[in-house]
């Protein structure tokens, strides 16, 4: 069961939405790519993702955000890149993550980010956020590198956090276990209060978009 923080999601249901879709794809090419690389199990997971997107398309944002968060948290098994891809850090496309049925924190966030773009959420309201996540209870000094997705109703506002480690959404002020490092989206890289710099500096992001286009996505 999903729990919403501070009534923020309820308020979103009343806000105007844009019908513009910032992500397009060739469904036939996606299915063909999935079948050839991952077989029937991958095609089944792809079908479940497409069905979720279709079911959520006309629903309010207050339902879309938790639905997307829940889908990816349940569809993907948390796994280390070194075990899954034999690389220390690999950013998988949504198709690759669904095909494997596994991924690490970046892969969850990438899947959620592009899902919400497909549903028409403006890209400038979404950011992929690198954080340090405290492990253990209050007062613990142990932390790990982690990534979450933030939804920003206003550019300088407080984001709602979509997290692979937590099934419910909370505003960032209620996630005392997370310390932000920097964030980015297709519009730029954000560090503190400085002016955003070009996202092209993130080579893994450029490589991710290139592979998505080869699969049939049009990011």
Round to whole Å and give the CA distance between 189 and 198: 6
* pLDDT tens-digit readout, 128-159: 999 999 987 777 889 999 999 999 999 889 99
pLDDT of 13: 38
The answer to whether residue 77 scores a pLDDT higher than 60 is yes
- Percent of the chain at pLDDT > 70 equals 90
Report the chain's mean pLDDT, rounded to a whole number. 89
CB 209 within 8 A of CB 219: yes
Average of per-residue pLDDT across 82-103:
97
Assign 219 a pLDDT band (cuts: 50, 70, 90): low
Cα gap 213→219, rounded to integer Å: 7
Specify whether the CB–CB gap between 99 and 146 falls below 8 A: no
pLDDT cut 90: percent of the chain above it = 81
Q: What is the pLDDT of residue 17?
A: 41
- Compute the average pLDDT of residues 8-21: 40
Q: What is the mean pLDDT of residues 204-218?
A: 95
Domains and CATH numbers, the chain: 23-218 (3.10.620.30)
Confidence (pTM): 0.89
- Count of Cβ atoms closer than 10 Å to residue 53 Cβ: 18
């Amino acid at each position: 069961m999903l729990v919403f923080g501070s009534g923020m999601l309820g308020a979103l249901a009343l806000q105007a939405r844009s019908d513009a879709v910032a992500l397009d794809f060739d469904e036939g090419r996606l299915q063909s790519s999935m079948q050839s690389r991952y077989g029937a199990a991958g095609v089944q997971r792809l079908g479940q993702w497409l069905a979720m997107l279709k079911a959520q398309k006309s629903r309010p944002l207050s339902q879309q955000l938790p639905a997307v968060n829940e889908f990816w948290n349940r569809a993907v098994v948390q796994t280390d890149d070194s075990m899954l891809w034999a690389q220390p850090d690999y950013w998988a496309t949504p198709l690759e993550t669904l095909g494997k049925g596994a991924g690490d924190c970046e892969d969850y966030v990438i899947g959620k980010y592009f899902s919400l773009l497909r549903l028409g959420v403006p890209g400038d309201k979404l950011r992929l956020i690198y954080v340090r996540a405290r492990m253990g209870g209050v007062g613990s000094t142990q932390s790990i590198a982690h990534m979450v997705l933030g939804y920003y109703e206003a550019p300088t506002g407080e984001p709602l956090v979509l997290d692979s480690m937590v099934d419910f959404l909370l505003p960032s002020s209620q996630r005392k276990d997370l310390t932000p490092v920097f964030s980015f989206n297709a519009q730029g890289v954000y560090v503190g209060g400085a002016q955003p710099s070009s996202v092209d500096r993130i080579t893994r992001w450029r490589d991710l978009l290139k592979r998505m286009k080869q699969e049939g996505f049009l990011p």
